[in-house]
Structure 1
């Protein structure tokens, strides 16, 4: 053992002596060139190539670094035992990532890629208007040279798309609204935003399951249809019209759509938009992957400009509202948005400012809307939000009381199924009955049955009274008709009698 250690010490001494000679004889430039030459020779014979993705690109953050970090957080093939946890701003979920100088092996289309998280201390701080972090972080990607084309063409794009999907899924939704008077915030944005925490989902939405499945399939087809819209030359957008009585769940439907797709919501208040140009500016400031909502479109502003213009005679003056010019003052306190401006907003050149956006209009009276606003290409899918049906009632019972169909007696189920269609109660009214008695399930069901029966009887009375009034109106019309016809028949007799009397007088 002593001889081994003595030999090892002698070799270390020889190595140190040779290194000193090399540093003394060869200048630093020559040593650097020799190292580069050695690396080139090594790379020529190596079957791998390496790509470095640094955290900072100069003084700016490298977007690809953040995307890789998010993408690798979803991989299950982590080889190390130490992981780093993080939570992004406005995020509701934790993500893990590679720890310092740890490795991960990933596969894409049958190609193996090895990622290494490289962390080093920054040696010197160069002069910069923005202070740099003390640690220099980056990812090193090692792949085989033969797979270089495939990786660079597809893999990195796949990572970016996957990272955006993860970020959108983890990040809280935002609800935007346009402020009064069109004021801008400190950054010049015309929208005010608050976190969107609405818990409505398609699972909890009180609607017929078949109709919900149809809407969900349409939304999935839209979100996955980028290539189709590009191939057909159409703007990547879709319009939905939600119509029906108040309290049927139109706002809950919008929240469920946003939570299902992971989109932000822009609640556009048309009464705060004064001109068509302001409407276009608001549209330009909306982001992709968003839902633009105009609620109660029939009550927001007067959009009957075309009908007014069509019924105008040649002697009527042309008002600024009919021209649709900016800066005109209308009946709505200075609001001069025209129907043509709104149509361009939904299906014109300005609707292409952005991609993957959904327009949702809601109304309680669809008959009041202009047909031009309802055609395909503007409102592609019309969704009737009807009164509560029996399948929707089962969803409400499960949401509020935790009762499934098997938890109710057969007689109660048959009674509910029979009376629910006659009562025509909205999901909001039924929910209120269940909320008040949610602590006593039996009492809640009993109260619901009584409320449905009461509403059904009330509707029957109204229907009978309406029928009786219609019959009375018909009888009154018949009497008036007979009364109008009887004097004409009686008035002919005196005329004849007068004629006959005149003839007799002439004869005498």
Structure 2
């Protein structure tokens, strides 16, 4: 035993001697060149080829990385793979468990046409003293794909396309949709993203939405044409995006419409709070960090920031020169770094709006006449949807939702529904107000609840006590709004208040005024 240890010590001494000799004989430059040569020889002689897929690609998130992560984490990939360790998690307020490939672990996928793909999940810490012109995550994440060289011509591109398609299906059917909001002051989360998210669980659908069936069909057809129109948009040279303007009184279902659109398409929602955005550059960065198959929403755009009509309030000559003819959103600030109307226009229909595909922009407002016409033109807001007061078809949908009515129930009555239909055509009552009456009276029985709705409508007729109270309240709100505005009330630059906004190509869904 003693002789064995003596021999090992002698061999280590000889190895150390030759290592020191090589260090003295070969300068660092030569050793570096030799190591590069050895790596190239190993690559040439190897039977496999390697591909790196990093999480951050330039200034935006690499969608292929997210697709690979979702694909490898799916139950289909896991069941057909060997090896690998999966990390289980359940997000806050989520109804399902998710699992993903652990850091620095490997997985073998045999599921694609009999080929074999080796995946490694590489996670490394970034150097503390590394400099970057933009905030980056502390960890550098990426996948390494190893396949046989002989399989590359037949496998690589079809396999990656398969991963993208499979990830898209999983995201739509199995994963919880997400509701994003931009962080205060543009701050980033630990992964370097400016958006914070929670699972999106709004139950609104087009079946439950209190809207005339014909109008719902028109909107659903337009959404379906958009989703299936990739080749059309490429052929015509248009960016694959679409804009919707939802306008009308409060309580008419604008937010429920957005939720129904997201549930219908299976898209995530990015709720953009403009009051938290300081500059045009920050707005562009937020846009770059949104994903495809998403709805970007700006609610109450007339209230969040000052979007005064440029015709009524032209900027001073110097400001007009600096801003390219656009007035500032934050009036009274000469700082060129502030958020401008020009920045918002480019956000919806400029070069930066084309940095992603398959996106929908939705603006909502209670006072469309206060919005600059440049934001309302086709190409930015392609379809204008007037969310009006409750109609009789919408009333029937609400009674189905809250009281369990069937279609035949509306025919078996002694004139109650005829009176209801007459009153709803004369009185302005929002779906939200009708819903509140039905919620409070739903335990009284179907007929009694309908009678309560009829009484509520009678109370809102002109001359009734409730009508006088509502009129007084509306006058007070208008007076408060006038005092709050820093500039005089804008004249109507478009005929939107009458539901008459015209948009080329049949891109308008509107409701005529009552009594027309």
Q: Does the alignment reach a TM-score above 0.5?
A: yes
Partner Cα distance (2:71, 2:434) in 1: 46
1:168 alignment partner, one of 149, 166, 172: 172
Partner Cα distance (1:394, 1:289) in 2: 33
1:361 alignment partner, one of 363, 372, 378: 363
Deviations 1:124-152 (A, max 9, x none): xxx9989xxxxxxxxxx9xxxxxx99987
Deviations 1:394-452 (A, max 9, x none): 11111111112323543122111111111121000000000111112242111111111
Q: Secondary structure at the match of 2:218?
A: helix
Deviations 1:255-281 (A, max 9, x none): 111111111111111122122122111
Q: Secondary structure at the match of 1:204?
A: coil
Q: Is the 8 A contact 2:309 2:371 kept in 1?
A: no
Q: Secondary structure at the match of 2:379?
A: coil
Aligned equivalent of 1:101: none
Determine if the alignment matches structure 1 residue 259 to structure 2 residue 260. Answer: no
Q: Is the 8 A contact 1:266 1:286 kept in 2?
A: yes
1:344 Cα offset (Å):
0.5
Aligned equivalent of 1:414: 418
Deviations 1:57-97 (A, max 9, x none): 9xxx9966963884858x9xx9xxxxxx998755646899x
Aligned equivalent of 2:389: 387
Deviations 1:30-70 (A, max 9, x none): xxxxxxxxxxxxxxxxxxxxxx9x9x99xxx9966963884
Q: Is the 8 A contact 2:461 2:467 kept in 1?
A: no
1:323 Cα offset (Å):
3.0
Determine if the alignment matches structure 1 residue 450 to structure 2 residue 455. Answer: yes
1:299 alignment partner, one of 273, 285, 303: 303
Aligned equivalent of 1:12: none
**Residues 327 and 390 (structure 1 numbering): CA distance in 2 closer, same or farther, change over 3 Å?**
closer
Q: TM-score, normalised by structure 2?
A: 0.60
Deviations 1:95-130 (A, max 9, x none): 99xxxxxxx999xxxxxx679999xxxxxxxx9989
Aligned equivalent of 2:509: none
**Residues 320 and 436 (structure 1 numbering): CA distance in 2 closer, same or farther, change over 3 Å?**
same
Q: Secondary structure at the match of 2:331?
A: coil
Partner Cα distance (2:289, 2:203) in 1: 26
1:162 Cα offset (Å):
3.4
Determine if the alignment matches structure 1 residue 206 to structure 2 residue 207. Answer: no
Q: Is the 8 A contact 2:246 2:363 kept in 1?
A: yes
Aligned equivalent of 1:330: 331
Partner Cα distance (1:212, 1:187) in 2: 39
1:184 alignment partner, one of 182, 188, 203: 188
Deviations 1:302-360 (A, max 9, x none): 223733664x6xxx563499737999973489893222111101000010111111100
Deviations 1:435-474 (A, max 9, x none): 11111224211111111122134489989xx9xxxxxxxx
Aligned equivalent of 1:229: 233
Partner Cα distance (2:435, 2:209) in 1: 12
1:182 Cα offset (Å):
2.1
Aligned equivalent of 1:281: 285
1:242 Cα offset (Å):
0.2
**Residues 317 and 290 (structure 1 numbering): CA distance in 2 closer, same or farther, change over 3 Å?**
same
Q: Secondary structure at the match of 1:437?
A: helix
**Residues 427 and 309 (structure 1 numbering): CA distance in 2 closer, same or farther, change over 3 Å?**
closer
1:393 Cα offset (Å):
0.7
- For structure 2, which runs of at least 5 residues remain unmatched after alignment? 1-47, 54-64, 81-85, 100-109, 126-146, 472-516
Partner Cα distance (1:115, 1:63) in 2: 19
Partner Cα distance (1:420, 1:93) in 2: 43
Partner Cα distance (1:321, 1:398) in 2: 57
Q: Is the 8 A contact 1:321 1:336 kept in 2?
A: no
Q: Bigger shift: 269-278 or 234-243?
A: 269-278
Determine if the alignment matches structure 1 residue 350 to structure 2 residue 352. Answer: yes
- How many residue pairs get aligned? The number is 375
Q: Secondary structure at the match of 2:173?
A: helix
Aligned equivalent of 1:429: 433
Q: Is the 8 A contact 1:288 1:356 kept in 2?
A: yes
Q: Choose between structure 1 and 2: higher helix proportion.
A: 1
**Residues 129 and 356 (structure 1 numbering): CA distance in 2 closer, same or farther, change over 3 Å?**
closer
**Residues 406 and 226 (structure 1 numbering): CA distance in 2 closer, same or farther, change over 3 Å?**
same
Aligned equivalent of 1:488: none
**Residues 63 and 369 (structure 1 numbering): CA distance in 2 closer, same or farther, change over 3 Å?**
closer
Q: TM-score, normalised by structure 1?
A: 0.61
Q: Secondary structure at the match of 1:351?
A: helix
Q: Secondary structure at the match of 1:424?
A: coil
Q: Bigger shift: 62-71 or 379-388?
A: 62-71
